[in-house]
Structure 1
Amino acid sequence: MRYLLVYIFALLSVSSFSQEEDTEKQAALTLKKANNFVYEGNENAVNDDFVLAEMAYRQALSEQTSSVAGAYNLGTSYINEGSYTEALYRLLQATKNATSKEEKHIAFHNIGNILMKENKCQEAVDAYKNALRNNPADNETRYNLGLAKECAEQQKDDPKDDNKDDEKKDQDQDQNQDENKENEDKKDQDEGDKKEDNKDQGDQDKKDGDDEKDDEGKPKEDNKDQGKGDDQKKEPQDQQPQPGQLSPQQVKNLLEAMNNQEQKVQEKMNAEKQQGVKVETDKDW
């Protein structure tokens, strides 16, 4: 039984050693691939081919995210292109993954240079100090630290210099707000003019409608027709007789003559009634 346990333990030990060996081989292979991409990126950077260099460095970090050389060289490439935000990100990544003081020193040194370009002097002072902690003998870093301190002191004395970037951003923001306000005012003015035009048009239409009505509120068109009817009634009195027709005066004279004739007949009949009239009877068969 004891031999069996020893045999099983030996098998487990061999298996664990084999897995560790495979892991080490895989890590070594990954490191080799990452370094190859770094070398490729360096060659492209020397030839001023930023696009291919950036691609190679990114592939190196894809193979090994802790590649200090990949992050540092990618950050340096961004500095040369003026992309300082991306450069800072990659250099900070290099400082976190750095395993030697020299790697940390050069990364913090370049971080300080970027911050000085962005006029962030106090932050640059801190970066140069971190660089000197890892390499106190670097005179260039010490010199840059002195410049950064002078710049930071000037910014303390003159807050405007310390906030130049913030002021520029505020100015741009104010300018954008003014432009937006101007556009809104113009839009409101256009809408106001449009409403005013519509109001004037409505008032004109209302005025036209009122002009077409009489004092009683009835449409004048009806009054026109009514007036026209009155004119038609009056028209026969003013009109001249047409050929073959009696004039109004002739009709009047004729009516008076008929009335006179009828009156004479009536008077004659009345006289005969007074004298008596002989009545003829029917024959009696």
Structure 2
Amino acid sequence: MMRMLQKKYIGIVLLLLVAVSASAQKAERDYIRKGNRFFKDSVYVDAEVNYRKALEVNPKSTVSMFNLGNTLTQQNKLQEAMEQYVGATKIEKDKSNLAQIYHNMGVIFHSQKDYAKAVEAYKESLRNNPKDDETRYNLALAQKQLQDQQQNQDQNQDQDKQDQQKEQDKQQDQQKDQQQNQDQQQQPSQPEKKIMRCLRKMQNSY
């Protein structure tokens, strides 16, 4: 009798858990749908609110993270958006979804002129979806811009070295001038030189 009761209670608990899980999933989907509608209408603040509510229901929802990241990007909250994307990459397993996440990370880095990180993000996106031509184009562009950036940095470094060398030469010239002035001040005047020569001659003549 006790075993039958235990099985009955276990069955009730399982049913309750399933019901709670189903209810949570429905709430999550509803919030995501609302967020999507607001996003489509460019009402990004309300979209953000709904995606965050979806994450409260399911903190591991990569769809909510990705959509929230997109919404934050539209509001120019790039650091917060990046946090959502990075969080999603740690959970998401689907290659197609990962490709989209890394693509958007690349776009943010690209907009910040952090071309090195943009290149890496685009490459990671293409590893997950090699057929994405838009990502491939962005990668080629970021690589070209990174190359130009590095060349400009090298030129600036060379210019800095030249400027430093000129400054050092200028300081050395000034030091030489100062030394010459000191030498001239220490050297006896022409009359004094004559007197010194005379004294020597006089001394030699004795």
Q: How would you bin the TM-score normalised by the shorter chain?
A: 0.5 to 0.7
CA distance 1:160–1:64, shift in 2 (3 Å): farther
Question: Structure 1: which amino acid aligns with 2:79?
Answer: T
Moved over 6 A (4+): none
Does residue 117 of structure 1 match 2:111? yes
SS of the residue aligned with 2:42? coil
Q: Distance in 1 between matches of 2:21 and 2:93?
A: 17
CA RMSD in angstroms comes to: 2.4
Question: Structure 1: which amino acid aligns with 2:91?
Answer: N
Q: Distance in 1 between matches of 2:11 and 2:154?
A: 64
Q: Distance in 2 between matches of 1:145 and 1:14?
A: 60
Does residue 137 of structure 1 match 2:131? yes
- From 149, 153, 157, the equivalent of 1:159 is 153
Which residue pairs with 1:273 in the alignment? none
Q: Distance in 2 between matches of 1:108 and 1:28?
A: 31
- From 53, 56, 81, the equivalent of 1:59 is 53
Which residue pairs with 1:127 in the alignment? 121
CA contact (8 A) 2:34 2:47 kept: yes
Q: Distance in 1 between matches of 2:100 and 2:15?
A: 34
Q: Distance in 1 between matches of 2:71 and 2:93?
A: 22
Which residue pairs with 1:251 in the alignment? none
Name stretches of at least 5 consecutive residues in structure 1 with no aligned partner. 162-285
Q: Distance in 1 between matches of 2:11 and 2:129?
A: 40
Does residue 46 of structure 1 match 2:40? yes
Which residue pairs with 1:29 in the alignment? 23
**Cα deviation 1:24-57 (Å, max 9, x = unaligned):** 3322221210110111111112222222111111
Q: Distance in 1 between matches of 2:133 and 2:103?
A: 11
- From 84, 100, 104, the equivalent of 1:90 is 84
**Cα deviation 1:93-112 (Å, max 9, x = unaligned):** 22223231111111110000
CA distance 1:160–1:66, shift in 2 (3 Å): farther
TM-score, structure 1 as length reference: 0.50
Which residue pairs with 1:100 in the alignment? 94
Question: Structure 2: which amino acid aligns with 1:108?
Answer: Y
SS of the residue aligned with 1:137? coil
Q: Distance in 1 between matches of 2:70 and 2:154?
A: 30
CA contact (8 A) 2:82 2:105 kept: yes
Could you say which structure has the greater relative contact order, defined with CA pairs below 8 angstroms and 6 or more residues apart?
2
Which residue pairs with 2:183 in the alignment? none
CA contact (8 A) 1:95 1:103 kept: no
The percent identity for this pair of structures is: 30
Q: Distance in 1 between matches of 2:137 and 2:33?
A: 32
Which residue pairs with 2:75 in the alignment? 81
Name stretches of at least 5 consecutive residues in structure 2 with no aligned partner. 156-206
CA distance 1:151–1:17, shift in 2 (3 Å): farther
SS of the residue aligned with 1:132? helix
- From 64, 72, 75, the equivalent of 1:70 is 64
Which residue pairs with 2:201 in the alignment? none
CA contact (8 A) 2:118 2:142 kept: yes
Which residue pairs with 2:179 in the alignment? none
Question: Structure 1: which amino acid aligns with 2:44?
Answer: F
**Cα deviation 1:77-132 (Å, max 9, x = unaligned):** 12222221111111222222323111111111000000000011111111111111
